[in-house]
Amino acid sequence: MVEEPKITEMRPEISAGEIPVGEIPVYITKSNFYRVVHADGIYGGGTPTPSNIMMTFYSHRVPFPEKAVNDAKGNEIVSKRDAKFGIEQEYEVSVVVSLEMAKTMLIWLNNTIKNTEILLQLRNQQK
């Protein structure tokens, strides 16, 4: 079962000899490739490795022009711009998780949705 994180008071550094029984410190760092990714959708499914699930998050945007032409002053000649019509679906990142992790994520996501809906209701009542 996944529990919602509880806000606790900050504790000063504890030396290894002073760690309370039954507690293990967890130090949080961000990898060099950590980034925030916006997702408009998700694509994925099972993988060839049994019990793994792959999720690919993507975003939608207007396609970038493939070619632009500028005049001698550096101003773009818009009529000569070469761009695709439609929507670009850009795959941002794929995440592969075990079936057990996917179940844990589902519980976390359900709890997070409920908490967010409660916060939105409270904000709307305050208006």
CB-CB contact of 94 with 117 (8 Å): no
Q: In sequence order, what are the beta bridge partners of 96?
A: 54
Tell me: pLDDT of 2 over 80: no
**Can you read off the two tokens belonging to residue 96?**
């592969």
Query: Per-domain residue ranges for the chain?
Result: 21-98
Mean pLDDT of the chain: 89
Predicted confidence (pLDDT) at residue 10 exceeds the cutoff of 70: no
- Binned at pLDDT 50, 70 and 90, residue 23 comes out as confident
Query: For residue 25, which of 34, 16, 33 has the smallest C-alpha distance?
Result: 16
**Nearest CA-CA partner of 93 in 25, 36, 14, 12:** 36
**What's the pLDDT score for residue 30?**
94
Q: Cα 37 from chain centroid? A: 5
For 55, residues 6+ apart whose C-beta sits below 8 A from its C-beta are 42, 43, 44, 94, 95, 96, 97
Residues 106-125, mean pLDDT to the nearest whole number: 95
pTM (global) more than 0.75: no
What tens digit of pLDDT does each residue of 26-68 get?
Answer: 899 999 999 999 999 999 999 999 999 999 999 999 999 999 9
